[in-house]
Amino acid sequence: MHTLWKAGCIALQQRDTKFLHTGLTSGRQFLFGRLTFNQYSLRMKYTACCLIAATLLFAGTARSQTQYSGWLASFNTIKTGKHTSIHSDVQLRSNDGIEHVQTLLLRAGLNYHAGKKFIITAGYAFVHNRRSTAGISGYLPEHRIWEQVIYNHKLSRVNVSHRLRIEQRFISRAAVDGNELVRNGHFTANRIRYFIRNVIPFHKAETFRKGPFAAVQNEVFLNFGNKANVNGKGFDQNRFYVAAGYRLNPGLDLEAGYMNQYISLATGRTNNHIAQLAVYIRR
């Protein structure tokens, strides 16, 4: 991991030096399509190094099982007051080969907007997962209580969101009853998730209200407490995502992209290649 980190950072430094020596840019700037962005603040360099290292590490891991699936998602924020809003998201995720629905996720929460940059949320999620035991498959529920903090800011015209989420998970224990998979109690697990998302508008504007954009994000999942109930490890999974989108108006985004989901299991690893379609609604 240290080697990957170092290689990514050296690559950025070399490219930075090349720009300065060739004189193609002034004031340490680069062209993105038709736009000019100020480049490489210390935080942007750090973020880029993290994304490069994570991508190389997870995409290049050997002996992992490879899967292909599709996800549909709707992420919604509905304003209820000056400092409050409701969060909800609905997600459908397919199995390997996109043969049937693997997961239905319903999540809701109450947001408190602490100023313009911070959002504090607590909520509940219901997850209906297709699982298999002894050759028998069926859907079993998982219940989650979750809390999170979001910090939003801008780097030049790039909108950056950081999210730290903690989950208390109540996962069904599977048992076979005849030819059916049934719930036999549950076990608990805890997880912490760190997410960073960058939205890059293609048009030059002080406030991004409409038009095409690119999105780049990464999220790492770590288990803590009762790790033996899941994969027995601190590391759970990583999700790296790139997408193209269009903002129809300030309250509606459409997005399509590719996600690489690397999952660490108790007895192996899964590398899941995902095509995702998403809509973001803000009211």
The confidence score (pLDDT) of residue 9 equals: 47
- Neighbour-count burial of 177, counting CB atoms closer than 10 A to its CB (0-12 exposed, 13-18 middle, 19+ buried): exposed
Bridge partner list, 75: 89, 280
The confidence score (pLDDT) of residue 206 equals: 83
Ranges of residues in the chain with a pLDDT under 70 are 1-63
- Residue 60, C-beta contacts closer than 8 angstroms, at least 6 positions apart: none
CA dist 127 → 73, 149, 215 (Å)? 14, 21, 26
The confidence score (pLDDT) of residue 28 equals: 38
Residue ranges of domains in the chain, CATH in brackets: 64-282 (2.40.160)
Calculate helix-pair angle for 2-22, 42-59, nearest 10 degrees. 130
The confidence score (pLDDT) of residue 51 equals: 57
The confidence score (pLDDT) of residue 205 equals: 83
The confidence score (pLDDT) of residue 204 equals: 86
Q: Compute φ and ψ for 205, nearest 5 degrees.
A: -160, 145
CA dist 67 → 209, 245, 273 (Å)? 37, 25, 6
The confidence score (pLDDT) of residue 180 equals: 95
Query: Taking the model in full, what pTM does it have?
Result: 0.79
